[in-house]
């Protein structure tokens, strides 16, 4: 059994988690909208066609903000197609996913669904095939109270009250050659600036995220962020980041190490943003919107080349990644990376919500169930609110090489010193509950974890759960939806200013402590 010790710095926090750190993403892609959140005629659907079983699982997952309508889809989207009488809405070819878009679901339906789910909407504007003019019109349609053609049109469509959408993304992955009308950093920086200016003239209360490059190993990474922020700095609050981690190389240890690259990625983007700020002699801090993150690789090739089956299908079952136990572990590591950067990552969106690389799966006409990755996310969202404490971790390490094929040239990232323990500690200032999120990346050995909690006094156990399965390839299915689910973690011992636990090999653990009165 490996011994690992942690000293929690109660007096020193990394930052406070923003509720928007626990967001997710709904794209018009495959069966995410149609057959996912929206399926008129489904036995659980309400009068709007919103699936009740999916909604119940979404409430349990507890995302706080939802990005919509894309993703790659948004770069060819005419928002006007998705509003007004449904029977008059046009059917269109969607070139992002080689599908047919019926437009039966659009921005107003999305806002209604968000209100029902108690989630803040986040809208992306099309800066691919459209530009500032379409962006300002969509904003006026959504947020202007009334008395203009577009705001009155919203009222005529049935939504008298303005939607009050606060958070907007200025396009999506605009450096990606797969994007409709991708751009150079200078082209995008100019268009985003002009769109942002007009949008804020209409509604000064909104917040804007400029596109970062679509991945850390893109040839554009770094220079893109720098140029885009040089242009947009005065007009935006956020720069976006996207990461999908993978196990293409079938190397589980390297896969579980890969969230550490997310840590590096975040720190690099912070450094670039702060260097732009310094060169502008400004004390403004650009925050990070990690608005796409997840594990994704098995179904990823569908994005390239042939993509989906020919024939422009409607809501085809694409990108329906089935997540395993080991995916949930890597995913949990990514959750810890986000929590431990709460000072600068203020927004994050798990990509995506239902069916498409998602924590929730459905059968069209049938049931909905939780994938393995559902559990770490739900725990992070519920228990990750508060002050993230600094932790000094003394853990044995291992060496890994992580393969990432994205971009022009496949890259191996050397990770010479990966601590077996990855951990985040969050204290809820209201309840005083301390939540420890702990990933044991050792595939063979248990970990004897010793956490010093100076100043905490005598801890009392609130709950202790673990996610593990002897078969790292185990998945949840329609018929066996709870094969991978949290179970009680029994081996927790408490002493004055101290907590000790034995963590199983390859396990995700959430231990919650309160103080004795």
Structure tokens at 348: 């994050």
CB atoms within 10 A of CB 126: 24
355 binds ligand AHR (CB under 6 A): no
Q: Indicate the DSSP class of residue 74.
A: G
Residue 413 CA, distance from chain mean position: 23
Pick the binder of ligand AHR from 102, 103, 352, 440 (CB under 6 A).
352
Query: Catalytic pick from 39, 173, 225, 237?
Result: 173
How many angstroms separate the CA atoms of 445 and 396, rounded?
12
Which residues, including other chains, have CB under 8 Å from residue 472's CB and lie 6 or more apart?
252, 324, 325, 326, 329, 443, 506
List the one residue from 27, 80, 237, 320 that touches ligand AHR (CB under 6 A). Answer: 27
Specify the residue, 211 or 421, whose C-beta has the smaller distance to ligand AHR. 211
User: How far is it, in rounded angstroms, from Cα 155 to Cα 470?
Assistant: 56
Distance CA 379, CA 104 (A): 34
225 a catalytic residue: no
DSSP reduced 3-state for 76: helix
Q: How far is the CB of 515 from ligand AHR (least distance, A)?
A: 42
Tell me the C-alpha to C-alpha distance, in Å, between residue 227 and each of 212, 224, 262, 500.
10, 5, 22, 48
Using a 10 angstrom Cβ sphere, with 0-12 exposed, 13-18 middle and 19 or more buried, the burial of residue 120 is: middle
Distance CA 198, CA 190 (A): 13
The side-by-side arrangement of strands in the sheet containing 492-495 is 487-488, 459-467, 507-515, 434-440, 421-427, 387-394, 2-16, 447-452, 498-503, 492-495
How far is the C-alpha of 38 from the C-alpha of 76, rounded, in Å? 22
Give the torsion through C-alpha atoms of 306, 308, 311, 312, to 10 deg.
-120
Closest approach of ligand AHR to the CB of residue 131, in Å: 19
Taking the least distance from each CB to ligand AHR, the nearer of 316 and 459 is: 316
Based on CB atoms, which residue is closest to ligand AHR, 80 or 292?
Answer: 292
Mask for 311-350, x = binds ligand AHR (CB under 6 A) = ----------------------------------------
**Facing residues of 244 across strands?**
294
Nearer to ligand AHR, 108 or 182 (CB): 182
Q: How far is the CB of 512 from ligand AHR (least distance, A)?
A: 32
Written as six digits, the tokens of 448 are: 């004897």
Shortest spacing between CB 473 and ligand AHR, in angstroms: 23
Minimum gap (Å) between residue 352 Cβ and ligand AHR: 6
Q: How far is the CB of 294 from ligand AHR (least distance, A)?
A: 8
DSSP 438: E
Q: Which is nearer to ligand AHR, 24 or 434 (CB)?
A: 24
Q: Which is nearer to ligand AHR, 58 or 506 (CB)?
A: 58
Size of the site for ligand AHR (CB under 6 A): 9
292 is catalytic: yes
| Contacts of ligand AHR in 286-315 (CB under 6 A) | 292
From the CB of 502, what's the least distance to ligand AHR, in Å?
A: 37
Binding pattern to ligand AHR, positions 116-155, x when CB under 6 A?
----------------------------------------
Q: How far is CA 43 from the centre of its chain?
A: 29
The residue from 80, 194, 292, 321 that is catalytic is 292
Rg of the chain taking only CA atoms, in angstroms: 23
Q: Could you tell me which residues come within 8 angstroms of residue 337 by beta carbon, excluding any fewer than 6 positions away?
A: 259, 260, 262, 263, 266
The DSSP H or E segment spanning 277 is helix 259-279
Cα separation, 70 vs 26, whole angstroms: 7
Nearer to ligand AHR, 179 or 253 (CB): 179
Q: Measured at CB, which residue is nearest to ligand AHR? A: 71
Q: How far apart are CA 329 and CA 503, in angstroms?
A: 13
Q: For the segment 30-89, give every residue that binds ligand AHR (CB under 6 A).
A: 70-72
Minimum distance from CB of 26 to ligand AHR (Å)?
A: 10
Nearer to ligand AHR, 192 or 388 (CB): 192
DSSP 8-state class, residue 34: B
Residue numbers 419-478 binding ligand AHR by CB under 6 A: none
Q: What's the closest the beta carbon of residue 351 comes to ligand AHR, in angstroms?
A: 4
In whole angstroms, give the CA distance from residue 293 to residue 214. Answer: 11
Over the window 169 to 188, marking each residue x when it contacts ligand AHR by CB under 6 A and - when it does not, the resulting string is: ---xx---------------
C-beta of 154 vs 242, nearer to ligand AHR: 242
CA distance 94 to 114: 24
Number of H helices, E strands in the chain: 10, 24
Angle, vertex CA 185, rays to CA 288 and CA 136, nearest 5: 70
DSSP 62: -
Interface residues toward ligand AHR, by CB under 6 A:
27, 70-72, 172-173, 292, 351-352
Q: Which residues are catalytic?
A: 173, 292
């Amino acid at each position: 059994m490996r011994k690992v010790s942690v000293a929690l710095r109660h007096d020193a926090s990394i930052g406070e988690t923003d509720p928007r750190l626990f967001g997710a993403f709904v794209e018009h892609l495959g069966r995410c909208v149609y057959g996912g959140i929206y399926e008129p005629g489904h036995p659980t659907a309400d009068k709007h066609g919103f699936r009740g079983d999916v909604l119940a699982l979404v409430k349990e997952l507890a995302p706080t903000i939802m990005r919509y309508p894309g993703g790659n889809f948004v770069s060819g989207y005419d928002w006007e197609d998705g509003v007004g009488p449904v029977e008059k809405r046009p059917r269109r070819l969607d070139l992002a996913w080689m599908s047919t878009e019926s437009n039966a679901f659009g921005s107003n339906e999305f806002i209604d669904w968000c209100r029902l789910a108690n989630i803040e909407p986040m809208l992306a504007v099309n800066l691919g095939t459209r530009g500032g003019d379409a962006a300002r019109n969509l904003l006026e349609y959504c947020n202007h109270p009334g008395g203009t053609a577009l705001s009155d049109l919203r009222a005529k469509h049935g939504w008298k009250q303005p939607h009050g959408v606060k958070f907007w993304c200025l396009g999506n992955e605009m450096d990606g050659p797969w994007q409709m009308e991708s751009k150079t950093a200078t082209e995008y920086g100019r268009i985003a600036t002009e769109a942002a200016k007009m949008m804020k003239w209409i509604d000064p209360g909104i917040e804007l995220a400029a596109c970062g490059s679509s991945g850390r190993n893109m040839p554009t990474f770094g220079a893109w962020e720098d140029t885009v922020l040089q242009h947009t700095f005065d007009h935006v609050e956020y720069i976006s980041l996207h990461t999908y981690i993978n196990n293409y190389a079938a190397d589980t240890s390297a896969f579980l190490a890969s969230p550490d690259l997310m840590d590096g990625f975040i720190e690099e983007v912070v450094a670039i943003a702060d260097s732009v700020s310094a060169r502008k002699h400004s004390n403004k801090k650009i925050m990070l919107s990690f608005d796409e993150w997840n594990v994704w690789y098995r179904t990823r090739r569908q994005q390239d080349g042939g993509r989906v089956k020919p024939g422009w299908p409607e809501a085809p079952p694409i990108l329906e990644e089935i997540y395993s136990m080991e995916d949930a572990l890597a995913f949990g590591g990514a959750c810890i990376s986000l929590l431990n950067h709460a000072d600068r990552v203020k927004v994050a969106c798990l990509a995506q919500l239902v069916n498409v690389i998602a924590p929730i799966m459905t059968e069209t006409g049938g049931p909905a169930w939780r994938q393995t990755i559902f559990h770490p996310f739900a725990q992070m969202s519920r228990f990750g609110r508060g002050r993230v404490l600094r932790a000094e971790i003394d853990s044995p390490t291992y060496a890994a090489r992580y393969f990432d094929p994205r971009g022009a040239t496949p890259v191996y990232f050397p990770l010479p010193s990966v601590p077996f323990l990855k951990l985040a500690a969050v204290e809820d200032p209201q309840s005083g509950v301390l939540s420890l999120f702990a990933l044991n990346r050792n595939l063979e050995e248990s970990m004897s974890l010793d956490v010093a909690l100076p100043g905490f006094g005598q801890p009392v156990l609130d709950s202790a759960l673990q996610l593990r399965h002897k078969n790292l390839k185990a998945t949840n299915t329609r018929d066996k939806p709870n094969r991978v689910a949290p179970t009680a973690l029994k081996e927790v011992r408490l002493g004055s200013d101290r907590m000790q636990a034995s963590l199983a090999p390859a396990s995700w653990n959430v231990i919650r402590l309160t103080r004795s009165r």
